[in-house]
Structure 1
Amino acid sequence: MKARVTVMLKTGVLDVQGEAVRRALGTLGFEGVEAVRQGKVIELDLTATDRAKAEDEVKAMCEKLLANTVIEKYSVELI
């Protein structure tokens, strides 16, 4: 089973990298971009066969390592 974790900065947290990308896009002629939020996607190959257990385990991974829950939010998708 595979899991996909998407980690993004929480609303209200300044996204310095996203702002740099937005400015760079404007420099390249893409003027219609008002805002950019940058995050990360992590794909995990799991040996678990129980979907509920796998989702709980991946959420625990996020809470302990994959996301800084003070400033980031995450979502888990089993694929």
Structure 2
Amino acid sequence: MSGEEEKDILYVLRHADGAVSLYADEEWAIERGVDPSQLVVVEIPRELYSKGTVQELREYVATYLEAQEEARNA
């Protein structure tokens, strides 16, 4: 197996309370009234994207965003 795992992309809106909304593409988010400048693009491992539950995706994204925020504040 190669070191490069295939990934898929989700567009994520993080709410003030820490909850996240997941969108398959930017257009879908915009149709639902989301400001595209607030979206964060998150790469999701293909296995998780195709077989994971929505809750597992939310947890992965939340953990990813928290790690990004900690790295910026370090």
TM-score range (shorter-chain normalised) is 0.3 to 0.5
Tell which has more relative contact order, 1 or 2 (C-alpha 8 A, sep 6+).
1
TM-score normalized with structure 2 length: 0.34
Larger Rg: 1
TM-score normalized with structure 1 length: 0.33
